[in-house]
Amino acid sequence: MGMIRDIEWEDMKGIVRNYYSFFDELQKDPSFGLILSRDKPGMELEAAWFASLYTAILKGNAIAAVAQEGAEIAGICDVHRIRPGTSMDHVGLLGIALRREFRGKGIGRQLLEYVIKNTEGRFEQLELSVFATNKAAIRLYESLGFREYGRTHGTIKRGKLYIDEIMMYRMMK
């Protein structure tokens, strides 16, 4: 039985496990839709990343939720204030990733709906970027009110494969 909920400190292990699985996916699929560092980061970098996400949440500069399926973390969705303390701090940057075996079951849509709802009153505009090849994700974002506002060509380079990046945004009011 699955549920969508706000992130908790105890979720780090499951989130890092999922993140590591994306490196293995990228090995098999050069068009895999997340930007990852060239090398798998060590646990010390992951702990620092998680702590900085948590700090941003406590400061009101980020929102994060997870999808939980049984004892497993199926995926995470977060929104970060793009530039806290500036005239752009009403804009949030959204990211989402589910572990492979949990995709295509409606969990991503539920997680996005939950997070978008949670941004109400806290962000006035949401932005995201997506690989132009990631058609299912683009359709999903469009169905949730995101619109393309720009596209860059060949921004993502995977060996000899160049992929375009699409920028999308959604007004919250």
Ligand X SMILES: CC(C)(COP(=O)(O)OP(=O)(O)OC[C@H]1O[C@@H](n2cnc3c(N)ncnc32)[C@H](O)[C@@H]1OP(=O)(O)O)[C@@H](O)C(=O)NCCC(=O)NCCS
**Sites of contact with ligand X (CB under 6 A):** 33-34, 75, 96-98, 103-109, 128, 130, 134, 136-137, 139-140, 143
CB-based contact 92:125 (threshold 8 Å): yes
Continuous segment of H or E residues that includes residue 156: strand 147-158
CB of 13 to ligand X, least distance (A): 19
**Nearest residue to ligand X, using CB?**
108
Q: Which is nearer to ligand X, 73 or 128 (CB)?
A: 128
For the CB of residue 79, give the shortest distance to ligand X in the complex, in Å. Answer: 13
∠ CA 123-56-151, nearest 5°, is 55
CB closer to ligand X out of 114 and 123 = 114
- List the structure tokens of 79: 């929104």
State in angstroms the smallest separation of the CB of 21 from ligand X. Answer: 11
Contact 173, 124 (CB under 8 A): yes
Distance CA(97)–CA(35), nearest Å, equals: 11
In whole angstroms, how close is the CB of 87 to ligand X at the nearest point?
A: 26
